[in-house]
């Protein structure tokens, strides 16, 4: 290839292009709309939420019949949802991780941050949209189990089950947001999901080992009181002598806020 390049003359040109599309400042509302489109347009959302609903509702309805009718005298009708949630929480944790780690894994994050250089706004929108989706899905599933139990078992109860819908949904949604924050910090789906499995299971398993050491009994007791499984069982037990899960929810909320703060800080100056 030789030098036959045509060089246009250097005559004055239009200084700069002006687009007919009106210019407006971008804000959180735009980011929320964008994240809503993202979460509803991938198959993994349908799968994780679909499996979650199936686990909670099916296992819940099955258990509702197996539990004796007398149980409901001092237990909310939503109690059978507890069994499904034990497994179902993994679905919300996975979705929470995937919402952000899939962007890092595919390189989509570069496109996202190019379109929205205000990284904190992107993460905030992700958290809000995910939390809303997870909370609504979990609340619907738990309420469905409560209604089923009330209609089919037909026993009398002294417990108002409506607060357990909110508390249960809040707890598993917070777990999902915690997973999202961990996913954002770690950027790798498998690593983040494994970490979250540890967060869920280690505090439930460790007390068995720690109890052999007198010095660690306090820690063992704390772990067995505050692990995710105990928290969910307290929320749905309705036994007021052992609490109804308030401190457990508060601890998870604190952890989640801390993890989110970490995620915001880590992503601010990261090369992507």
Partner 1 sequence: MISLEGLTKRYGEKVAVNNLTFEVRPGIVTGFLGPNGAGKSTTMRMILGLDHPTSGDVRIEGRHYAELRDPLKSIGALLDATANHGGRSAYHHLLCLAQSNGLPERRVHEVLDIVGLTAVAKKKAKGFSMGMGQRLGIAAALLGDPRILMFDEPVNGLDPEGIHWIRTLMQRLASEGRTVFVSSHLMSEMALTAEHLIVIGQGRLLSDLSMADFIRQNSRSYVRVRTPERERFLDVLRSAGLTAMETGDVLELDGVAAEQIGELAARHGLVLHELSPQQASLEEAFMRLTAESVEYHAHSGPAADEQAPWGAGWKKG
Which residues are near partner 1 by CB under 8 A?
A: 1-3, 5, 7-8, 13-21, 23-26, 30-31, 33-35, 37-38, 41-44, 102-103, 106-108, 110-118, 122, 269, 271-272
Give me the helices (H) in 154-188, please: 162-186
Q: Collect contacts of 61-69 with beta carbons under 8 A, ≥24 apart.
A: 61/145, 61/148, 61/149, 64/145, 64/148, 64/149, 64/152, 64/153, 65/152, 65/153, 67/153, 69/153, 69/154, 69/155
Return d(Cα 241, Cα 159) in angstroms, integer. 14
Q: How far is the CB of 100 from partner 1 (least distance, A)?
A: 12
Compare residues 95 and 142 and give the one whose CB is closer to partner 1.
95
Q: How far is the CB of 265 from partner 1 (least distance, A)?
A: 14
Compare residues 16 and 241 and give the one whose CB is closer to partner 1.
16
Q: How far is the CB of 44 from partner 1 (least distance, A)?
A: 7
Q: How far is the CB of 91 from partner 1 (least distance, A)?
A: 17
Q: How far is the CB of 186 from partner 1 (least distance, A)?
A: 18
Compare residues 2 and 241 and give the one whose CB is closer to partner 1.
2
Compare residues 42 and 202 and give the one whose CB is closer to partner 1.
42
Closest by CA position to 138, among listed 188, 185, 175: 175
Compare residues 24 and 154 and give the one whose CB is closer to partner 1.
24
Q: How far is the CB of 185 from partner 1 (least distance, A)?
A: 18
Confirm if 184 and 263 have CB atoms less than 8 A apart.
yes
Confirm if 190 and 268 have CB atoms less than 8 A apart.
no
- Residues with Cβ < 8 Å from 9, sequence gap 6 or more? none
Compare residues 214 and 271 and give the one whose CB is closer to partner 1.
271
Compare residues 34 and 89 and give the one whose CB is closer to partner 1.
34
Q: How far is the CB of 45 from partner 1 (least distance, A)?
A: 10
Query: What is the largest distance, in Å, between two alpha-carbon atoms of the chain?
Result: 94
- DSSP string of 208-236? HHHTTSGGGHHHHHHHHHHSHHHHHHHHH
Q: What are phi and psi of 162, to 5 degrees?
A: -60, -45
Sign of CA dihedral 94, 100, 101, 103: positive
């Amino acid at each position: 290839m030789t030098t036959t390049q045509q060089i246009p003359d250097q005559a004055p040109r239009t200084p700069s292009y002006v687009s007919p599309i009106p210019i407006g400042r971008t804000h959180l509302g735009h980011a929320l709309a964008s994240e809503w489109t993202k979460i509803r347009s991938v198959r993994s959302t349908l799968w994780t939420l679909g499996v979650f609903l199936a686990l909670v509702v099916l296992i819940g309805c099955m258990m509702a019949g197996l539990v004796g009718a007398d149980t409901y005298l001092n237990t909310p009708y939503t109690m059978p949802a507890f069994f499904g949630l034990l497994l179902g929480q993994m679905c919300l944790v996975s979705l929470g991780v995937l919402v952000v780690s899939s962007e890092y894994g595919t390189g989509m994050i570069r496109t996202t941050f190019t379109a929205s250089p205000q990284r904190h706004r992107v993460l905030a929108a992700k958290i809000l949209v995910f939390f809303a989706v997870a909370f609504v899905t979990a609340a619907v599933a738990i309420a469905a189990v409560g209604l089923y139990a009330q209609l089919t078992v037909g026993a009398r109860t002294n417990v108002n089950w409506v607060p357990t819908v909110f508390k249960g949904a809040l707890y598993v949604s917070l777990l999902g947001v915690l997973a999202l924050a961990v996913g954002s910090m770690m950027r790798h789906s498998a690593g983040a999901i494994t970490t979250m499995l540890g967060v869920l299971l280690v505090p439930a398993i460790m007390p068995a080992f720690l109890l052999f050491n007198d010095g660690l009994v306090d820690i063992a007791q704390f772990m067995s009181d505050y692990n995710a499984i105990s928290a969910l069982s307290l929320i749905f037990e309705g036994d007021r002598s052992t609490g109804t899960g308030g401190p457990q929810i508060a601890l998870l909320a604190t952890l989640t806020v801390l993890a989110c703060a970490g995620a915001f800080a880590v992503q601010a100056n990261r090369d992507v």
